[in-house]
Amino acid sequence: MSLKVMTNRSKTFLCALSISVMAVGVSSASQPCSAAKPSRTATTKQSDAVTTIPSEAATAKSSNSSAKATEKAAHGPSLVRWNDWSDDIFARAKKEGKLVLLDLEAVWCHWCHVMDEKTYADPSVAKLMDKNIIAVKVDQDSRPDLSNKYEKYGWPATIIFNSDGKELAKRSGYMDSDEFKKLVKQLAANPDKPEPEAIDAKVTYSSNNVLTAEQRKDLNFKHVDGYDGEFGGWGIGGHKFLDWNSVEYSLQLAKEGDKDALERVKKTLEAHHKLLDPVFGGVYQYSTNGDWDHPHFEKIMETQAECLRLYSVAGMVLKDQKYIDSAKAIDSYLKNFMTSPEGAFYTSQDADLKPGQHSAEYFALNDKERRAKGIPRIDKHVYARENGWAINAIAHLYMATGDSEYLKEAQKAAQWIIANRSIDGGGFRHDETDKGGPYLGDTLSMGRAFLSLYMATGDQQWLKRSSQAADFISQHFENKEAGGKLSAGFLTAEAKPNAIAAPEPLLEENQSICRFANLLSQYTGEAKYKAMSESAMRYLSTPEIVAKRRILVAGTLIADHEMAHSPAHITVVGKKSDPQAKELFLAAIGSPLIYRRIDWLDKSEGNLPNLDVEFPDLGKAAAFLCAGNRCSSPAYQPEDLVKLVDRVK
């Protein structure tokens, strides 16, 4: 089935970031934050939020406890009395007759630093808050439930509640002292009167397991219409960044023969190279001014991981080494800066060498010059979600290259997370201890990572762990209506009775679950996983959800396409000790296919879980390709398998 779509686009289209629903009154100059080896020791004061870099492979490898100390030191002394988030805060607010302010920040975010240094450091602001507000500050990376609920307002996101937990106002990005004080005075005088923008409309979920033809047509139009033909990427004006779903969907279109889609992919990836750090490696988060030449320098794990994965996939599909080289450069950054001594991955690196001060001059320096000034602070929390993203990406880099060092890197991190973040039943904690968890994102990202490790190795342990993760998701995160009836999709955190800021489904997580559970059902033959993907699609096909975005809609289109088709299926038949079988399997996992299922049938281990074809015993290793409702003759050499795969659209 072709995915060819319309190519006309509106000349009046305006950029709409997925996270940027800007509140009235926030200036464009204060938009919210979206998210090489050391040559010598470089140490500076913690108060400057700079990480000590000891040497070579030990880069950024210090304990979590020191990371937490650095995190506190980064803000310095505060005039505002900050509290941790809990429902008990609201009982205290009611007793004291105060509002509750939630400041959701990101430790890597420039504008969060500026608001701390200016607005919250203003004595008149602190005095007003002390009189009217109980203030709560939360690192959004540490609380996925709050982060996902309010991500369109971040970062920083400012949410103000009355003492009953009702949202009164939501603000996006930096506010100066005057604007902030005006808002607090207004709400304190009317604590039972929320702003109209703070009231969320109730959603009636769809009963459709697929998009309607009209929805599919509309989303395809938005996807093409939102492409920036001048600069590449999706969205015109404003921020430029790599939307991996849009590029991956375009790769699928290109694979089916859409030349315009191929041009969109190539132009976008070429432009995005400007956001690759040429010195340390890794990916800057985004660029402003509507082009790719004004980067914001934070490095966030999701962006590192998904760009690494996408460049690996693009390298395989387009057979272009430069994309593989880009993926390798990102992985080098992760190994040198973002890896713990145990082999697990950290969370992010700050945009600023000193909080609140732009660092363009610093990032223009060479390696030696940068290190002489110090290294922007690294958040050394080790979260299961971020590690799942990284493991999944590095497994794809292994499949693109066949370099076993990447597989070892991914497996080492996976084993650490299993040993240190597991929950009974197949799930995962976010951190060493969870506040408000469990969260969907941790188990989902690890489930995806396990499935990729199974694809990369044929090792049944990874398929089993992936299935256990899916079972945990089904048991803990289903979005249910009163009475326990399944509604649609999955919540970003486990629901708790009468919770303030109750969790909701998140678009990106449900796109990911739809794809993950659908592919898992193909591997296992288990109907329950297909039912999970259908539940996610009921959420995604809900009209209000479909209409939510003007661009960046490709995640839903990919999920819908995969739900409607069977993946190309390569099965290698032969002993895992057989060198010929190993060569065939390496060719299989490196094949230029996006939606694919790779199995390795070693009959000495027993049958595969969903063996839908009876393969003959040919006396030697062979590979079979099944696609488009037919299966190929056996391929005995890697080059023969490559020829078969190249015919698949």
Phi, psi for residue 433 in degrees, rounded to 5: -130, 145
pLDDT at 397: 99
Q: Give CA angle at 293 (152, 34), nearest 5°.
A: 15
pLDDT at 201: 78
Work out whether strand 622-627 and strand 630-631 pair parallel, antiparallel, or are unpaired.
antiparallel
Query: Whole-angstrom Cα distance, residue 464 to residue 460?
Result: 6
Query: Whole-angstrom Cα distance, residue 259 to residue 572?
Result: 32
Ranges of the chain with pLDDT below 70: 1-31, 34-77, 481-486
Check if the beta carbon of residue 544 is closer than 8 Å to that of residue 584: no
- Name the CA radius of gyration of the chain, rounded: 25
404: Cα separation from own chain's centroid: 25
pLDDT at 502: 87
Query: Whole-angstrom Cα distance, residue 216 to residue 196?
Result: 31
Strand (E) or helix (H) holding 601 = strand 596-601
Residue 629: CB partners within 8 Å, gap ≥ 6?
Answer: none
pLDDT at 64: 38
Name the β-bridge partners of 478. Answer: 490
pLDDT at 613: 83
Q: Give CA angle at 290 (288, 291), nearest 5°.
A: 85
pLDDT 10s digits, 167-210? 999 999 999 999 999 999 999 999 999 888 878 778 888 888 99
CA dihedral 486, 490, 494, 495 (to 10 degrees): -50
Query: Whole-angstrom Cα distance, residue 531 to residue 534?
Result: 5
Residue ranges and CATH numbers for the domains of the chain are: 28-41+77-198 (3.40.30.10), 568-646 (3.40.30)
Q: DSSP letter at 576?
A: T
